[in-house]
Structure 1
């Protein structure tokens, strides 16, 4: 696990989440969730804020969770949110380009978390095979 990468992804996500909660247009405009004049409707702002707080809190969890299982769990939550966003936004945003961009950005952030979790893993086997590789097998007679 690459703790520094996971913490950086978490911090960036938390900052972005707070920013969108305060200014929902940061997400609404590039997503095409604005009217013909480029304004974000009040209902859209209301709908985006919980999504933004989810990002803020899950990012904060990644940034602050103790190393080990707690950080791993926070990363899994973040990955589920990112990959879920890729599927949902990629399927529902207006316009093909916006769908593709939103899916790519969401997959990209999720992939950073995956990379942080997988970095530093040993390439050797696990479980029984690892114990066999560790030393000679001795049989008593």
Structure 2
């Protein structure tokens, strides 16, 4: 697990989540959840704010959790949220908005998966790095 990378992903999602909670149009407009004038209905804004707060909470947990099981658990919640968003948005958004919204959700989830699988400071296994440095 690359804790530094996961904390960066967590920080980015926390900031974005707070932005969406404050200004739901940041999520509504790219998702096509606006009216014919590009405005966000009050009901839509009310529905999107909790998503922003969820992202802020999980992102903050990723930043603050100790490395190890706590960080892995916070990251698993991030992955589940992103892939869940992809499923729901893919099933419900208008066809012309579906692919970009799903791609963004899957992309953020994939970043978290990469952070869980990645070794700190680079690529490759610990064994191959030891060999590269001359020992085993």
User: Hey, what does 2:78 align to over in structure 1?
Assistant: 78
User: Hey, what does 1:108 align to over in structure 2?
Assistant: 107
Q: When the two structures are superposed, what TM-score results if normalisation uses the length of structure 2?
A: 0.87
CA deviations over 1:32-63 (Å, ceiling 9, x no partner) = 10101111000000000011100000011001
In angstroms, what is the RMSD of aligned CA positions?
A: 1.4
User: Hey, what does 1:59 align to over in structure 2?
Assistant: 59
Q: For the residues of structure 2 that align with 1:101 and 1:36, how far apart are their CA atoms?
A: 20
Q: When the two structures are superposed, what TM-score results if normalisation uses the length of structure 1?
A: 0.84
- Indicate how the Cα distance of structure 1 residues 73 and 27 shifts in structure 2: closer, same or farther if over 3 A, else same: same
Q: For the residues of structure 2 that align with 1:26 and 1:110, how far apart are their CA atoms?
A: 19
Q: For the residues of structure 1 that align with 2:39 and 2:102, how far apart are their CA atoms?
A: 23
1:1-80 aligned within 5 A: 1-80=1-80
Shift of 1:123: 8.0
Larger radius of gyration: 1
Unaligned runs of 5+ in 1: 125-141
Task: State the SS of the aligned residue for 2:85.
Answer: helix
CA deviations over 1:76-114 (Å, ceiling 9, x no partner) = 0000000000110111112x2311111111111001110
Q: For the residues of structure 1 that align with 2:33 and 2:89, how far apart are their CA atoms?
A: 11
Shift of 1:122: 4.7
Q: For the residues of structure 1 that align with 2:96 and 2:16, how far apart are their CA atoms?
A: 22
Q: For the residues of structure 1 that align with 2:26 and 2:67, how far apart are their CA atoms?
A: 32
User: Hey, what does 1:127 align to over in structure 2?
Assistant: none
Unaligned runs of 5+ in 2: 128-136
Shift of 1:4: 1.1
User: Hey, what does 1:87 align to over in structure 2?
Assistant: 87
Give the aligned length: 123
